[in-house]
Every structure is written in structure tokens, then in C-alpha cells.
Amino acid sequence: GESVGLHLPTLSVQEGDNSIINCAYSNSASDYFIWYKQESGKGPQFIIDIRSNMDKRQGQRVTVLLNKTVKHLSLQIAATQPGDSAVYFCAENPYNNAGNMLTFGGGTRLMVKP
Amino acid sequence: DSGVTQTPKHLITATGQRVTLRCSPRSGDLSVYWYQQSLDQGLQFLIQYYNGEERAKGNILERFSAQQFPDLHSELNLSSLELGDSALYFCASSVASAGGDTQYFGPGTRLTVL
């Protein structure tokens, strides 16, 4: 069953196209950022992370871009596949806390059309 | 499979009752985190334990409590349950406790309060 809000922004892309999912974060003190993928009925799955001393990091078919000036994070997925359909969350880790709590964005639903 | 296990998968109970959710972290991880995911609030951090001690606290209600045992598994206790406590509860784990340590999530426990 669904595990996220009913009114998520949705990105619909054609299979094989590139996808770009955006996220605005709130805390200028955050120094670590993560993208998670959540499929229906499952827990968030780690995709890629980036630290504040970088502005780009690449993984397999995914790239994360960080713009600290405007507090913006994006996730690019190359050659999007049906298996990429899920809700994607960005999360930030504020530096000024004793632990390691994550603050999550509201999520974006990615729908891949075959 | 993240290596984090949670039981039970589903829990249905009545208002006023008390339940216990259980989490086993990935092998070698010392930190355990609890998050709540509801339709209107998204993913929210509740509490973090590191090697048996509370490390960080988020928006956790006084009716909720948690602990981490010597074998590093953790339990989240929810008491005097209300309808609004219905949500998905996720446990995550990481190796250490400091910021920037990647958190891996379990499959969640879906709590329904009737």
C-alpha cells in the first residue's frame, strides 16, 4: 500500500528519457545530503549522497547536484527505467546537532511510462 | 535488502492500547534511528540511540519511548495510542553516530489504530 502523502508532486517521464528531480533544503548549516528511493510498501532505499564540500557526485545512472547558494539539490537519473518508478526523497543532515538526524523533504513521485 | 529487520510488519490495535515495535540493525552498526511516516507529516525523525545510549531526540511524543539493548536491537514503545498514531514506523541503522553517516532503513511496521 501507499506509504506517502496523497498530494506529492509527480514527474512523469518516458522510459529511456532522463529524469531530474529537484529539492529545496531548508538549513544552510546542513553539510550532508542524501537521496532515497521508496517503492510502495517498502522502506526508503539509499541511492546516493553528497557532502557540502562538493557540488556534483555521480553514481551508476544517477548524479546528484548541490547548489549551496540557493539551497537546492537535484537528482538526475539517466535512461530512466520502469523499475525507477517510486517516490524519491531528499534528506539533509544539519551539522549542528549531536546526533545524525535526517530531515526529509516531502518527496516526488516518479512515474515511468513504457 | 538493507540488512535492517523490523517486526512485526503489520500491527492493528485499538485506541488506548500499548504496542512495542522491534528493530535489529545491520551487523556492525551501532546507531539505531526511529522515524515515523504519516500521510500528513511525511517522514519525521523520532529518536536515535548509539551503543545503548540516547543520542538525539526529535519530535517524539511523551507517550512514546525507545531503548537500545546490549545486543544493539532496539524497541519503540507506543502507549495510550490515538487514531493519529496510525502510520508507518521505520527503523534505520548506521555504523557510527556522527553527522554524515549513511542510514539504511528497514522495511517498516505499519501501525493501524482503530
Name the residue of chain B whose CA is nearest to A2's CA.
B39
Query: What's the grid cell of residue B10?
Result: 503489520
pLDDT tens digits, A53-78: 999 999 999 999 999 999 999 999 99
pLDDT of A98 above 80 = no
- Judged by CB atoms within 8 Å, which residues 67-106 of A form the interface with B? 89, 91, 93-95, 97-106
Find which of A95, A101, A108 to mutate to test the B interface (most B CBs within 10 Å of its CB). A101
C-beta atoms of B105 and A93 within 8 A = no
What is chain A written as a DSSP string? ---S-TT--EEEEETTS-EEEEEE---TTEEEEEEEEE-TTS--EEEEEEETT-SEEE-SSEEEEEETTTTEEEEEESS--GGG-EEEEEEEEESSSSS---EE---EEEEEE-
Dist. CA B41–CA B58, nearest whole Å: 13
pLDDT tens, residue by residue, A21-62: 999 998 888 889 999 999 998 999 999 999 999 999 999 999
Q: Give mean pLDDT, residues B13-22.
A: 98
Cα separation of A102 and A5, whole Å?
A: 19
